[in-house]
A and B are shown apart, each in its own frame.
Chain A
Amino acid sequence: MPASQPDLERPARRGIVLRLVVRNHPGVMSHVCGLFARRAFNVEGILCMPVGEGAHSVVLLLVHEDARIDQVVRQLRKLEDVVEVGPAPGGHDAFGSVAGYLV
């Protein structure tokens, strides 16, 4: 694990983490992931957990910070199930903290 950990962290440093608040229902992840696939946006990592009473979930997306990030955010805002989109302060720590469980 020590050898692979830097590989997981490196994309985190050059990417940014977006925080979405979404309506929590069985189809919402297919809307978010499908958007990235069909618009050819890269996503390096996804974390998702229900919050509060379970009516909403928070999704953290680790994405490349390139010229298209503004377009990514605008497309995400058009999804009916996405309630909020914004940068996730400290989001890199979240991906760093789970890295050990994934390899």
Chain B
Amino acid sequence: MKITGATLIMRLLERQGIDTIPGIPGGANLPLYDAFHDSAIRHVLARHEQGAGFIAQGMARATGRPAVCFGTSGPGATNLLTAIADAKLDSIPLVAVTGQVPRGMIGTDAFQEIDTYGLTVPITKHNYLVRSAAELLEVVPDAFRVAGSGRSGPVVVDVPKDVQTETICVDRLPDPGRPDPPPALRGDGIAAAATLIGQAMRPILLVGAGVIASGASGVLRRIVDKACIPVASTLLGLGAMPDGHPLAIGMVGMHAARYTNLLLEECDLLVALGIRFDDRATGKAAEFCPRAKIVHVDIDASELGKIKRPDVAIEADVGEALRALEPLLHPASRPTWTGRLAHLRDTHPLAMPGADDPLQPYGIVRRTAALVGPDALVTSDVGQHQMWVAQAFPFTRPRQWLTSGGLGTMGFGLPAAIGAALAAPERPVVCFTGDGSLLMNLQELATAAEEQVAVKVILLNNARLGLVRQQQQLFYGGRYHASTFRAEPDFAAIARGFGMRAYDLGAAGDAEETLARALHEPGPVLVNVPIAADENVYPMVPPGAPNREMIGGESHAGIAA
């Protein structure tokens, strides 16, 4: 059959199972957009390419499957960069297809020409500049193979306009790209890990995004129950173990509950599963779990020994490794260690002042959680609100919590929530955001209204860059600069202007009742929640300090910071 490069791309994407593509058209990808006319793929028109990239990320994070976004050349591509870099840091499978100027004009500083290939080398797993329509037969399936293999990540496919319009004869379409099999599991590492777990008196499991990526929550739970090992989580591992499990000790690191960091301080064996020892989790890495031997399981060999030297290193899919480990573990009850856990949890719990008041940080998180129930998907932006949600929302399953961990991108939450709602239209979706973060991709309110996605934006509004203000208070002698917004937009009015329903809890007679009404509305809704400017996230480990040096968060007293 005769086929253009643009139509060929659409056929190959359809064969990959892609049904929805967010993006923005422009001069250099118009042939690709023309090919939507005879494709079943639905296009979602974002209002900024960064929004398109994060909508795709929301789809990928909610499902675990690679998602696609489209952008044109030049500014279209540069606008995508932040979403691509974010996907790299958090290992999210994303395939960004960008238009490029025609082949003959590459290198001439043509209109909207930028070296997309060169710009995306450091922020992708791999990237391609497609030099002929025939190459697409290899490149498109390969892009999906790379994005989903091993440690997932983003891939860029840059397609010159004249490659999109080039007509070629194709006999048959290639098979869809599928992930490579994970690295072969070596039994000696598993046996050594089982021996260390058997010998340990005070073991802890620390689970990260790798556990969620490998779908290992089920076997994790069985191992935890069988061998009686407390489980801590990184920010991105939340949900791998259900909140409320007696051995789940929550998030570790900079804003962990005191008892969690204290228990890690005492452990004699750390079993690190699908984590990369990020500095926000470890604090000063040299003093992280100072008494512990380390077993490290990760699918990316370059993470083993990068930050902490493990006693046993296992390059493997976490789920496969845990399934091999399970039969080698002896049932245990560890009364001394679990007693110590209970004692520390009683004496140094996570303090959640105001947890019943929807006009206070923990209260809005806890009341929203109670009202939306366990089926909801939850996204956040980046800042104080993100940490309050990470601390206080009762996550009960993997892929329930979508947040920007590694890159820490303000502006992530709203478009990611739109993507999550597109991927899981049957679930309620809540986006917790701040007034600083929301303004960074505010334009996607238009996309949410246009698509009528069931996204509930809960805006914790303190008219501040709150976490910046907090750091200026704690570490810069209270010298505040550039962390206060002197202009305070009326966000509820803005949301209505975009065509959404909106509520202001500060102006509501009964905040609790208003919140419930807002969350039960169909379609997109914004809820403005005024938050006192001096609210801080506690505890806090100062950047660069060991995790035992926590500021604030004592349970028995109000925080006088």
Q: Is the CB of A31 within 8 A of B121?
A: yes
- CB of A10 within 8 A of chain B? no
- CB of A75 within 8 A of chain B? yes
Q: Is the CB of B300 within 8 A of A78?
A: yes
From A38, A74, A77, A78, contact of B122 by CB (8 A): A38
Given contacts A77-B301, A80-B146, contact A71 B306 (CB under 8 A): yes
Q: In the complex, how many angstroms separate the beta carbon of B513 from the nearest chain A beta carbon?
A: 52
Q: Is the CB of A80 within 8 A of B126?
A: yes
Which residues of chain A are near B302, meaning CB under 8 Å? 71, 74-75, 77-78
Scan B104-139; emit 1 where CB is below 8 A from any A CB, else 0: 000000000000011001100111010000000000
- CB of B305 within 8 A of chain A? yes
Q: Is the CB of B125 within 8 A of A80?
A: yes
Interface residues of A (CB under 8 A from B): 26-27, 30-31, 34, 38, 70-71, 74-75, 77-81
Instruction: Compute how far the CA of A26 lies from the CA of B118 in the bound complex, rounded to whole angstroms.
Output: 11
Nearest B residue to A30 by beta-carbon distance? B121
Q: In the complex, how many angstroms separate the beta carbon of B306 from the nearest chain A beta carbon?
A: 6
Q: Is the CB of A70 within 8 A of B126?
A: no
Instruction: Compute how far the CA of A71 lies from the CA of B305 in the bound complex, rounded to whole angstroms.
Output: 8
27 A-B pairs with C-beta separation under 8 A = A26-B129, A27-B118, A27-B121, A27-B127, A27-B129, A30-B117, A30-B118, A30-B121, A31-B121, A34-B122, A38-B122, A71-B302, A71-B305, A71-B306, A74-B301, A74-B302, A75-B302, A77-B301, A77-B302, A78-B125, A78-B300, A78-B302, A79-B126, A80-B125, A80-B126, A80-B146, A81-B126
Size of B's binding interface in residues, CB under 8 A: 14
Which residues of chain A are near B146, meaning CB under 8 Å? 80
Nearest B residue to A81 by beta-carbon distance? B126
Q: Is the CB of B305 within 8 A of A70?
A: yes
Which residues of chain B are near A79, meaning CB under 8 Å? 126
Which residues of chain B are near A30, meaning CB under 8 Å? 117-118, 121
Instruction: Compute how far the CA of A79 lies from the CA of B305 in the bound complex, rounded to whole angstroms.
Output: 19
Instruction: Compute how far the CA of A71 lies from the CA of B307 in the bound complex, rounded to whole angstroms.
Output: 10
Q: A34-B121, A71-B302, A81-B126 are in contact. List 14 more A-B contacts (CB 8 A).
A: A26-B129, A27-B117, A27-B118, A27-B129, A30-B117, A30-B118, A31-B121, A71-B306, A74-B301, A75-B302, A78-B125, A78-B300, A80-B125, A80-B146
Q: In the complex, how many angstroms separate the beta carbon of A68 from the nearest chain B beta carbon?
A: 10
Which positions 500-557 of chain B face chain A at CB distance < 8 Å?
A: none
Scan B304-331; emit 1 where CB is below 8 A from any A CB, else 0: 0110000000000000000000000000
Scan B280-309; emit 1 where CB is below 8 A from any A CB, else 0: 000000000000000000001110011000
Instruction: Compute how far the CA of A26 lies from the CA of B130 in the bound complex, rounded to whole angstroms.
Output: 12
Q: In the complex, how many angstroms separate the beta carbon of A33 from the nearest chain B beta carbon?
A: 9
Closest 5 CB pairs of A and B: A74-B302, A80-B126, A34-B121, A74-B301, A38-B122
Which residues of chain B are near A70, meaning CB under 8 Å? 305
Which residues of chain B are near A81, meaning CB under 8 Å? 126
Instruction: Compute how far the CA of A35 lies from the CA of B154 in the bound complex, rounded to whole angstroms.
Output: 16
Instruction: Compute how far the CA of A37 lies from the CA of B302 in the bound complex, rounded to whole angstroms.
Output: 17
Q: In the complex, how many angstroms separate the beta carbon of A74 from the nearest chain B beta carbon?
A: 4
Q: In the complex, how many angstroms separate the beta carbon of A76 from the nearest chain B beta carbon?
A: 9
Instruction: Compute how far the CA of A84 lies from the CA of B297 in the bound complex, rounded to whole angstroms.
Output: 24
Which residues of chain A are near B117, meaning CB under 8 Å? 27, 30
Q: In the complex, how many angstroms separate the beta carbon of A41 from the nearest chain B beta carbon?
A: 12
Nearest A residue to B306 by beta-carbon distance? A71
Q: In the complex, how many angstroms separate the beta carbon of B309 from the nearest chain A beta carbon?
A: 10
Instruction: Compute how far the CA of A18 lies from the CA of B292 in the bound complex, rounded to whole angstroms.
Output: 35
Which residues of chain B are near A38, meaning CB under 8 Å? 122
Nearest B residue to A37 by beta-carbon distance? B122
Nearest B residue to A75 by beta-carbon distance? B302
Instruction: Compute how far the CA of A31 lies from the CA of B146 in the bound complex, rounded to whole angstroms.
Output: 15
